[in-house]
Amino acid sequence: MIAPIYKQELFDICKEVANRFDGVTFSNNLFTVRIAKFARTQICAGFTFKYGVADMDPSIWVCFRKLGKLTAKYTGMGDCTSILNYEKIKYELIKFPKNKVGLTHIDRKIPAYALENEMYLKNYTLIQDVPELLESMVDDGVRILHKLYDFSSERNFLENMPPKYDPPPLDIPMPNYIGVPYTEYHRSAGIVMCLVRMSLGDFDFIDFYESDKFNPFAYKYEDMLQRLREDLPELKRRYEETGSIW
C-alpha cells in the first residue's frame, strides 16, 4: 500500500526551500517575503489534502496593511489587496513550469491512467520532485512581486494598483472570449480597487466603476458596492479630516 502524502511532510519541505532564499520564511501554506513594512507579501502554495494526495495551486498574495480591515469589511473575503493565481500570470513565469499552473497533484506514484495520457500526466508531480518545483515557484513569485508591484512608497504602491499583466489565452476556446480575462476589476477585486482609489482621495471612481462606461464585461458585486456606497459619506468625512479613510 502506498503511503499518503502528509501535510507535515510537505510543510517540512517548504521550510527547507524557504531557507534557500534571503528574507523568505514559511508557515501554514504561505511563503512570506520581506519587502516593505506597509505590505504583507506572500506566495501561497495552495496545498489541499484529500484521499492521500496533495494538490497544489500557487498564487501571490499582497495586503496593504492599512487597508486590510476595510477590505475585509466590504468584501467579506479576507484582507488581501491583490491576489494573483499563477494561472493568470502564466506569461510572467520563467522558472515555474507553465504546464504545472492550475491544479497540480502531488503523489508518491503516478497512476496508470495518467501515464497513458499526457493531458493527465502533466498534472502530476512526484514527492521527490517537489523541492525543485517549490523552489521555482518561490523564485518566480519573488521576482513577480518586485516586477508587478511598486513598493517604493505607500502612495506609489496604491497609485500603481492593480498590477498590470497580460492574461494567457484559454486552453479551451470559449465563445466571446479571446483569452482569460483581465480580472483585477472583477467581483471583490473591483471593490478593493474602489477602496484603493478612495485611499488616494478619489471618491468619484466608484461612480465610474458602477456606470456602463466602465468595462461592461466586468462582474460587479452589487451588494458589496451598495454597502460601500452607504458608508461613502463617512469615509469621505474621515479623509477630509485625517487625510486617510482607515
Q: Could you report the per-residue pLDDT of 52-72, keeping only the tens digit for each?
A: 889 999 999 999 999 999 999
- Residue 114: pLDDT over 80: no
Q: Could you report the per-residue pLDDT of 16-38, keeping only the tens digit for each?
A: 999 999 999 999 999 999 999 99
pLDDT, the chain, mean = 90
Per cent of the chain over pLDDT 70 is 92
- Res 175: pLDDT: 47
Confidence band (pLDDT; 50, 70, 90) for 184? confident
Measured at the CA of 148, the angle between CA 176 and CA 56, to 5 degrees, comes to 70
Encode burial over 13-41: b for 16+ CB neighbours within 10 A, e otherwise.
Answer: bbeebbeebeebebeebbbbbebbeebbb
Q: What string of H, E and C letters represents the secondary structure of 43-70?
A: EECCCEEECCEEEECCEEEEEEHHHHHH
Distance CA 243, CA 222 (A): 27
- Residue 131: pLDDT over 90: yes
Helices and strands (H, E) in the chain, number of each type = 10, 9
- Residue 148: pLDDT over 70: yes
- Residue 181: pLDDT over 70: no
Average pLDDT over residues 177-201: 83
Average pLDDT over residues 228-234: 96
- Res 83: pLDDT: 96
Confidence band (pLDDT; 50, 70, 90) for 169? low
Given the C-alpha cell 513565469, which residue does it identify? 93
Distance CA 158, CA 101 (A): 28
Q: Where are the domains of the chain?
A: 7-169, 185-246
Residues present in the chain in total: 246
Distance CA 135, CA 60 (A): 15
- Res 171: pLDDT: 55
Give the burial class of 92: count Cβ atoms within 10 A of its Cβ; 0-12 exposed, 13-18 middle, 19 or more buried. buried
